[in-house]
Structure formats: structure tokens, C-alpha cells
Amino acid sequence: MAKHNEAIWTSLKDIIHTSKQECVSSVNSESIDEITSEALVLLQNVISQNEDLFLGLIVNDGHINMIMNSVTSYKYNDVPMPEKQRLYAIGRILSVAAKVSTVSCNIVFESFFLRMMEALGISEQTSSRNGVTKGKCILNGRICFGALYLCTELLEACRNLAMESYKEPAYANEIWCSMLHSFSSSLTKALGSALTACNEDSHEKDIYLIVKALQIMATFPQGVLPISEQVFDTVLMTFMSIISRDFDKMLIWKPMLKALVQIGLFVDKSPDSKGASTYAALVIEKLIPLVSLDDHRMPFSLKIEAISEISTTGHNFMLRIGQGLEEAIYAKLFEICGNGNLKSVDLLVQLLECYSNKVLPGLRQTGDSEEVALRFAFNIWNQLEKTSEFSSNFQQKELLDAAMMTMKLAVGICSDKSQTTIIQKAYTLLSASTFLSDSFSSRDEWLISLFSSVIIALRPQTHIPNVSVIIKLFLENVLKAHIPSAQALGSLVNKLPLKISPNKNVSNDFSLEEALDIILSMLNSGLLQTNGVVGLAWIGKGLLMRGHEKVNDIILNFLRLLMSSDGMSPLEDGSLMMSATDAFQILMSDPEDCLNKRFHAIIRPLYKQRLFSTVMPILLSSIVNSDLPITRLLLYRVCGNVISDTPVIALLNEANKLIPVLLECLSLMIEDILDKDRIYSLMLVLSAILMDKSGEEAVIENAHIIINCLCGLVSYPHMTLVRETAVQCLVAMSGLSHARIYPMRTQVLQAISRALDDPKRVVRQEAVRCGQAWGLIASRSLCF
């Protein structure tokens, strides 16, 4: 039997040694090939069946012992590749062996652990010595890669063992446990000093290994041997000192932050344990003051990054960090009210963005987010109430945008009852301010913008007091070109109840019909101006999304504007018509900051398809019937706006009619650089039609004009993506029937030869593919 064991051991050893996979990767996953992983599984099985015999073979293996005795290279780069492979193989073998059982772990530790510690120059901690001798492997604080790698593998293995038998911590008396316990403190100190000695010249794999070893030490099951609380504290303090001090060493900082997050996730699993409270005290409570202090040594963006990442470690930690951020936000707001400067404004923007992007969404998933959100919204309104002077800092658009988004997100989390209290608070403040009809001060803008944000985020069932006054206020501001007011009106008409239910006992409830009466009478009265059109567009969007038929009247209004030009000067005419064109873009858009699911909008399925099928026939017949070139141009632009945002599946049915329109839109917009995003959207639609099987017939019918248009777009100077997409579309066209496309081959190859000289690499590479595709459709004959 022993003979068989030896043969098995030798074969397995060979297989594991021939694995060429990299073991220490900076991404945390170890990817080894299938054969090696199966070999390791087999090794584990045979060890568990014949523990003594197999462990004896491993422990006494000459090869392994030889490598053990020679792991003295300092850095990852100093270890030659073949030796690295051997090292990884041994590491895997020892790791597997130690994980099998407590007994095997003991044997492995007894045989190898002390030698690893000796190689690292670490001795047992005693009361008199700190346990670190400047042995052969510690030079200027650097740690031996080979010995550390093997040590890390053992640590991970015994940690896994500890986790599995956590419920019965009988391992406290085991050999491996007491050995690790006696070295843990000095090992931690040595690793800590090695980490501090690292700099930008250190290899990332050396750094990764040291961080990993410390992380493993800190993630042993809490409160039980072998890792004492003191060691846990030391690890956290080491990490935090690097985070707050060595922020210019990105190679160390980033892995450190990741390790802290992992430790946080681990301790959060047992939130009442000592580990969790230590983590809170040593990490969270040290990070929070960083964002409040005006310490400019550490870049603010890094502070925010650290706080954002750590906030994801657990609910309680997220709550505390949220609280800390709130306080910092209020303090900064107060500061810039007084004087402050652009720097403070920038910091406040970053704080608000962190709160919006990390804290609020993170809390949203848990139960107590409403309390936090309500408190935040209220405190902001309180602060605005106390502020009489709005310094010039408040004119920064970025700041207002960040504040609006945070307010929307906070209000959006709240229940309908809480939302009503927020509206009441805000409305009280608003009605106490006098809005002069001509001027629009900073204060006015802030108050009305934040009020719009509250309205935008309301749930449909929330009761809104004084709706008619609010609507009139928004309408006045719409006519002063205040877009958020227009969006707020859109949100209102999207969510107001259609009719007041006679059973409802709530007074002051307002129905949609009443709201629309007020809005449309004010906007339609007299001459419509550009701002009014924008307002109507947002209102139309709100109605379109819920499927209310009043939207049709609004759309007809826009079309009438496009097609009539009597009674106005050419200048007014032009801008009014352009607004009418752009209105369709608003109708079809998917805005991030309002009228979406996040802010409780009512969305009837397929609303865009319905608009498309209603409006397109009118547009197409108007184009045919119109006399003025300017009108045709505008109608084509409207077609472009509608087509680019309609789902492709709706377009494919009408592809035959739409392709010529699409191509005409492209050719009309090709001159103006401002249209480059519109052109790109239309290109995406065209490529979707070309790629779809059901569009093939229409594409073949129109192949000639498509290729003409694409050949022109291959040289579009304003946007690389347009040129790239045009070339890709030409590649797709090369797959059509030979008879249809062969006549255009020369034209395409000429266009492509210009693209081969494109200033952008990605276009040149596509052009090569395209040239090959079109070259293949004929016999190969190159012209010189």
C-alpha cells in the first residue's frame, strides 16, 4: 500500500508542478487549469484517507525541503520563473494538505511553519523582545517573497479550517493554533513595517502579498485564538495610517482600501462582536473627520473614494458614514453662505455626489432609509430658511445640480406621508419669499429649483396642498426659461389623479383636468414664446407617458408652429420653430433627472411606439405637401428626432418608408457640428436595421442610396464614432446579394481607401476589415 501511495504522490506532484498558471495575481481570483485543480482535489482526498502516510511523504519530500531551505529572494522580480512555478506548486500542495483536518494542519505547521518564520526573520514574541530580528530575509523592512507566499498559503488554509469549525472552537489547544498565536504579533509588526517601507518601485505582487497576509490575519473568527484582539487592532491601525498618510503611493493605497473593505464586510457579518465595534472605532470614526477637516494634504477625491468604498461594508457602517457626511454637508453649506470660495463649492459638490451615489442608494435597500432621507431633506430646507444671504458661490451651476439631485433622491425614498410634510415645509418657505416678476436672484433660483426637485420626486399617491398656486408659480418660472419648473409641471401632470374620487375625504385634492385647464390656458394664451414651447414639451411628455389623450392637442400645436410662419418676424419665427422641433426630442427622451421609474413616474408600456405610429404618417404627408424648403428641413429634423428614440422593433415594420427619410435626415444634418450627436443616434438606428434579418428586404431595395450616404459619412469630420459606425455599416452591406452591391464596389473601395488614412486607429482598423470584406466579393485583383 505504501508503494502505491508513493507512486500516487510522485505523479500528483509532477502534475501540480507542471501547471503554468500564475498564482499570485493582483485580482483576487486564482485561476488554475482544470488538470491541476483536479489533481489538487485528488490529493486532498488521498490525504484524508491516509493521513499519516501521505503527510509523511509530503513532509519528508526532498524536493519540497530543498525549496524550503532556499527561499531567500527578496522581491517578486528576483525570483526566476521556474523557481516561481515550483514555489506556487508547493504552496498549493501545503495549502491543500493543511485544509484537510486539524491533525494534518498540525503536522504541516510543525514541519514548516517555524522554518518560514525563520526565513522571514521573525521570532516568537516575548515580553522583552518585540519579536523582529533583522534576519537574512528582512532588509530595510522588505520581506522575502517566497517565504511570505508560503506563509500566506498556510495562514489562509488554517483560517478556512477555523471558519469551518467555528461552532466548536476546540482548536484553541491545537498545535497550529498555539504556534500561530505565539508568532502572530511579531509577524503583524514585521508585515506592517515592510508595507510602510514599500514605495512606487516595489512590485505590485509583493505589495499584494503583504496586504493579503495582513487581511487574512484580521479575518480570523473573532474573539477566539489564534489571533488576539491586539493583533486585529494593529492590522487596522497599520492600514489606516497608510490610507491617511501614504495617499501618494497609489500602488499601495488601492489594495489597502480593498483589504479594509473586505475586513469590514467580514466583521459586519457579526455586528455585535467586538471586532465590529473596533472596526467602527478605528476605521469609520477616523475616516469621517477627514472629510470635515480642511486638511488639504490628502486630495479630497481620495477621501471621498475611501469613504464611499468603506460605506459599502455594512448597514450600520453605512448609517454612521451617512450621518458623518450629512454633518459635513451642512457645515460646508453654512461655510459657503458666509464667504467660502470656489474650492469649498467643489468640495461640497463632491460630498453631495457621494451622498447621492453611495449612501442614499445603499440605504434605500434597508428599512430605516426613510428616516435618514426625511431628516436630510428637512435639514436642508431648515438651512435655506436660516440663510438670508446667498453669496456668489451659490451661482455655481454644478452646485445647484448636485443639490437638486440629492434632494430628489432623498424625497424619492420617503413615503407619501413624509413627502407631504416636506412639501408643506418647502411651500411655507417659498410662499414667504417674494418672487419679483423681472429678476431672478440666486435665492429665488435655489428655492424654486429645490422645490421643483421635491415635486419631481413625489409618489403619485402623495397629497399636494395648494396645487393651483404651485402650478401658477411654476408657469411663471417656465416663461423665465427655468427648465426644472417645466420638468416639475411635467411630473405633476404625469402623476395627478385623473378625477377626484367622490369617496375620498381629503379636501384640496386636485385633479388632472383642473390642472391642465390652468396650464393650457396660460400657455396657449396670446403668442407662444420659445420658453412656453419648452414648458409645453415637458408637460406633453408627462401626459404621453401616462397615455392621456390631451398630448395629441399639444403635438398638433407643435406641428402647426412648424408649418406656419405668418405674423412673426423671421428671427422669432426661426427660434420658435426650432423649439418646436426640439420639443419632439424632449417627448421621446429618457431623462435621468426626472420622469423615470426612480422618481415614481407613471409609465404606460410602449408609449414611444404609440407616438411614433401617430406622428409619423402626419410628418411624412406634411413633407410631401409642404412648399417651403425651410419647412421641409424642420419636418425632416422632427422625423430624425422621433426615429432616433423609437425602439428599433417598431421601425422595422416600416423600414421601407423610413430608410429614405432617415438618409435624408443624415444628409441634411451633416454640415452642422452641433448635430453630431443626432447623427450618431440615427447611425445607430441605421446599423440596427442593417443587422436585423427582418429589415433585409427594405435594405436591398434601398441599397444604392444607403451606400451613397455611408460613403459620405466615412469622412465625417466631427465625430470618430460616426465614421467608425459608417465603416461598420459598409461591412454589413457587403453581405447582401452580390448582384445588388457589386456595381457599387468601386465607390466603396474608394471611400475606404480614404478611411485607411483616418487620424483614428479604430477607424483605420475597421476600414481594413471593410476593404477585405468588399475585396472578397470579387476576384482578388489589386490595382497598383
Partner 1 sequence: MTLGLINANPVVHAKKERIARNEDFHSDDLVDPLDIYDFVRDIRDPEHPYSLEQLSVLSEESVSVDEKLGRILITFTPTIQHCSMATVIGLCLRVKLMECFPPHFKLDIKVSPGSHANEESVNKQLNDKERVAAALENPNLRQLVDACLYSNEL
Q: Which of 167, 296, 297, 780 binds partner 1 (CB under 8 A)?
A: 780
Considering CB under 8 A, how many residues would be counted as binding partner 1? 17
Count of CB atoms situated within 10 Å of the CB of 344: 18
729/10 Cα distance (integer angstroms): 58
Shortest approach of partner 1 to residue 761 CB, angstroms?
A: 4
Q: Is 753 in the site for partner 1 (CB under 8 A)?
A: yes
3-state secondary structure of 506: coil
Q: CA nearest 44: which of 96, 8, 115, 5?
A: 96
Considering the complex, state which of residue 432 and residue 782 has its C-beta at the smaller distance from partner 1.
Answer: 782
- The region of 169-177, 308-316, 739-747, 749-757 touching partner 1 under the rule CB under 8 A is 749-757
88/685 Cα distance (integer angstroms): 52
- The region of 193-201, 458-466, 550-558, 762-770 touching partner 1 under the rule CB under 8 A is 762-770
CB-based contacts of 690: which residues, under 8 Å, 6+ apart?
699, 706, 729, 732, 733
Q: Is 757 in the site for partner 1 (CB under 8 A)?
A: yes
Q: Is 782 in the site for partner 1 (CB under 8 A)?
A: yes
Number of H helices, E strands in the chain: 39, 0
Shortest approach of partner 1 to residue 769 CB, angstroms?
A: 10
Binders of partner 1 in range 691-710 (CB under 8 A): none
Considering the complex, state which of residue 590 and residue 757 has its C-beta at the smaller distance from partner 1.
Answer: 757
Q: Is 761 in the site for partner 1 (CB under 8 A)?
A: yes
Binders of partner 1 in range 565-594 (CB under 8 A): none
Shortest approach of partner 1 to residue 775 CB, angstroms?
A: 7
Considering the complex, state which of residue 629 and residue 759 has its C-beta at the smaller distance from partner 1.
Answer: 759
141/85 Cα distance (integer angstroms): 25
Considering the complex, state which of residue 516 and residue 752 has its C-beta at the smaller distance from partner 1.
Answer: 752
Shortest approach of partner 1 to residue 569 CB, angstroms?
A: 41
Shortest approach of partner 1 to residue 745 CB, angstroms?
A: 15
Shortest approach of partner 1 to residue 412 CB, angstroms?
A: 34
Q: How big is the chain by its Cα radius of gyration, in Å?
A: 35
Cβ(691)–Cβ(732) below 8 Å: yes
Q: Which of 58, 759, 777, 778 binds partner 1 (CB under 8 A)?
A: 759
Q: Which of 141, 169, 271, 775 binds partner 1 (CB under 8 A)?
A: 775
> Is residue 286 exposed (0-12), middle (13-18) or buried (19+ Cβ within 10 Å)?
middle
Q: Is 778 in the site for partner 1 (CB under 8 A)?
A: no
Considering the complex, state which of residue 114 and residue 768 has its C-beta at the smaller distance from partner 1.
Answer: 768
- The region of 334-342, 436-444, 684-692, 757-765 touching partner 1 under the rule CB under 8 A is 757-765
97/43 Cα distance (integer angstroms): 8
Q: Is 129 in the site for partner 1 (CB under 8 A)?
A: no
87/288 Cα distance (integer angstroms): 42
Considering the complex, state which of residue 5 and residue 720 has its C-beta at the smaller distance from partner 1.
Answer: 720
Q: Is 722 in the site for partner 1 (CB under 8 A)?
A: no
Considering the complex, state which of residue 109 and residue 774 has its C-beta at the smaller distance from partner 1.
Answer: 774
Q: Is 756 in the site for partner 1 (CB under 8 A)?
A: yes
450/437 Cα distance (integer angstroms): 19
Cβ(720)–Cβ(760) below 8 Å: yes
720/716 Cα distance (integer angstroms): 8
Considering the complex, state which of residue 257 and residue 731 has its C-beta at the smaller distance from partner 1.
Answer: 731
Shortest approach of partner 1 to residue 747 CB, angstroms?
A: 17
Q: Is 762 in the site for partner 1 (CB under 8 A)?
A: yes
488/483 Cα distance (integer angstroms): 9
119/113 Cα distance (integer angstroms): 10
Shortest approach of partner 1 to residue 780 CB, angstroms?
A: 7
Q: Is 768 in the site for partner 1 (CB under 8 A)?
A: yes
Q: Which of 382, 415, 772, 778 binds partner 1 (CB under 8 A)?
A: 772
Binders of partner 1 in range 509-568 (CB under 8 A): none
14/4 Cα distance (integer angstroms): 15
Q: Is 754 in the site for partner 1 (CB under 8 A)?
A: yes
Q: Is 764 in the site for partner 1 (CB under 8 A)?
A: yes
Q: Quick one: the chain helix, strand, coil %, rounded to 5?
A: 75, 0, 25
300/749 Cα distance (integer angstroms): 53
233/280 Cα distance (integer angstroms): 11
Q: Is 731 in the site for partner 1 (CB under 8 A)?
A: no
Shortest approach of partner 1 to residue 728 CB, angstroms?
A: 16
Q: Is 760 in the site for partner 1 (CB under 8 A)?
A: yes
Plot region of 604 (φ>0 → left; ψ -120 to 50 → alpha; else → beta): beta
Query: Half-sphere exposure of residue 470, counting CA atoms within 13 Å on the CB side?
Result: 28
Residue with cell 503536522: 107
Q: CA nearest 728: which of 667, 680, 694, 664?
A: 680
Considering the complex, state which of residue 128 and residue 784 has its C-beta at the smaller distance from partner 1.
Answer: 784
Count of CB atoms situated within 10 Å of the CB of 429: 16
3-state secondary structure of 558: helix
State the cell numbers at 618.
Answer: 402626419
Shortest approach of partner 1 to residue 33 CB, angstroms?
A: 16
Q: Is 719 in the site for partner 1 (CB under 8 A)?
A: no
Considering the complex, state which of residue 275 and residue 771 has its C-beta at the smaller distance from partner 1.
Answer: 771
Considering the complex, state which of residue 693 and residue 761 has its C-beta at the smaller distance from partner 1.
Answer: 761
State the cell numbers at 209.
Answer: 502579498
Shortest approach of partner 1 to residue 719 CB, angstroms?
A: 11
Amino acid at position 362, single letter = G
| Contacting residues toward partner 1, per CB under 8 A | 720, 753-754, 756-757, 759-762, 764, 768, 771-772, 775, 780, 782, 784
